[in-house]
Amino acid sequence: MFSGRKILVGVTGGIAAYKAAEVVSRLRKLNAEVRVAMTKSATEFIAPLTLQSLSTNPVYVEMFNEPKLWNVEHIALAEHIDAVVVAPATANIMTKMAIGLADDFLSTVLLATHAQIFVAPAMNHAMYHHPAIQANLAILKDRGVQIIGPATGFQACGTEGDGRMSEPVEIVESLARFFVGSDWLKGKKALVTAGGTQEPLDPVRYLGNRSSGRMGYAIAQALQEAGAETILVSAPANLATPPGVSRVSVQTALEMYEAVLARFSEVDVVVKAAAVADYRPAFQAEQKIKKDGSNLTLELIPNPDILAELGRKKTSQILIGFAAETENLLTNAQNKMIRKNVNLLVANDVTKPGAGFGSSTNIVSFLFPDGRRIDFPQMSKLEVGRHLVREIAGLLGVETKE
């Protein structure tokens, strides 16, 4: 799975930097093409020559050295790698990543690359649990960075606890799991809907809902990671389009209906994660509705049911629906799964802490027409998306054993 893969190993200034040599060595033995970028402080712990010898490639330290590649060096490297693993990842580098600071070669590459990033934290137990570091970790997870470890045990400073860098074999296994899944949906085309639709009342007001779009965007990223050509049909959302994903922007339920139906015949998978308005105003005022002190009555008419329409029209497509409920979760979700003729339904209770709209995490259950159910603990929405991709691959007949 590593043959032909281009992997950048980032090494930062911690005592665990010596373990980077084994990470590089293991990756090379598995036929990966390895590049190494070091911070200046990392060179105090391990010599660049060691990592150059193991990787058989020049080691990058200085931002303005004579270029080793034809392009602006850090940009060229960022565009030609399949994954980055920062091991060890100090508190300093993770903070830079969280705030977008690029003040050396490695941090600049991390900001410029679209490749999957892994970090293996390594620091004192107390540092690891500092609120600032935990907040930065949450930011990185929300952006799709995969965190490896840390491990628990004796630390160089004499304390004991979590904060040790994971062992090189575990780091390489994490990369292997990622690359195993990166080909699951190669050659397949997927469409994801995301965000909350907006139904205009007048030029300044609309009927909407609390959806942030985070779940749909995370699923689109997970599908893209798995090799699928991914289209994201998005209602208004203040989120960056995942790298490699094609975005189609819509506002209303009718616009989303038209965008999805127009593309349905050409895709293999549809994931309907958007919160689509069930109703829209029967009349849209051309000018702002003025307040005059009297009651205002709005007439609402139903929007088309996109998921139900797809369920009627599907032939070979895999159709995934969502049920965001506030009561009787399983009963309502199972009824919806049958009515909408989906292959899998993702159910969540949006009243639970950590599972509501706008949260970076979710707590879901996967329901299947054959009666199977998989319950998941609270996890990031990207992790939910990756679990969903595994199930989609299985529904498509793809072997997903690691």
- The pTM score is 0.76
Task: Give the class (CATH, top level) of 189-395.
Answer: alpha beta
Which DSSP string corresponds to 163-232? EEPPPHHHHHHHHHHHHHHTTTTTT-EEEEEESB--EESSSS-EE--S--SHHHHHHHHHHHHTT-EEEE
Residues in contact with 168: Cβ distance below 8 Å, sequence separation at least 6, in sequence order:
19, 22, 23, 26, 87
* CATH topology (fold) of 6-181: Rossmann fold (3.40.50)
* Closest by Cα among 96, 98, 163 to 128: 163
CA 197 – CA 217 distance, rounded (Å): 15
How high is the pLDDT of residue 320?
Answer: 98
pLDDT of residue 70: 43
pLDDT, tens digit, 9 for 90 and up, residues 238-257: 998 987 899 999 999 999 99
Beta bridge partners of 246: 231
Model pLDDT for residues 91-110, shown as the tens digit of each residue:
999 999 999 999 999 999 99
SS (H, E, C) 308-372: HHHHHHCCCCEEEEEEEECCCHHHHHHHHHHHHCCCEEEEEECCCCCCCCCCCEECCEEECCCCC
pLDDT of the residue at 73 = 55
pLDDT score for 356: 76
The residues, any chain, with a CB within 8 Å of residue 255's CB and separated by 6 or more, are 197
Q: What is the pLDDT of residue 66?
A: 52
63, 65, 74 from 307: Cα distances, Å:
51, 55, 45
Domain residue spans of the chain: 6-181, 189-395
Mean pLDDT by 10 residues, the chain (402 residues): 89 95 95 95 96 94 63 68 95 96 94 92 92 94 88 75 89 86 89 97 94 94 92 95 92 98 97 96 94 92 97 96 91 94 95 83 94 92 92 90 56
Q: How high is the pLDDT of residue 304?
A: 96
Q: Do 6-181 and 189-395 have matching folds?
A: yes
What was the pLDDT predicted at 332?
A: 93
**What tokens were used for 168?**
């090189």
Sign of CA dihedral 94, 97, 99, 102: positive
Say what the pLDDT of residue 182 is: 77
Q: 199-200 and 206-207: which strand pairing?
A: antiparallel
Active centre residues (catalytic): 157
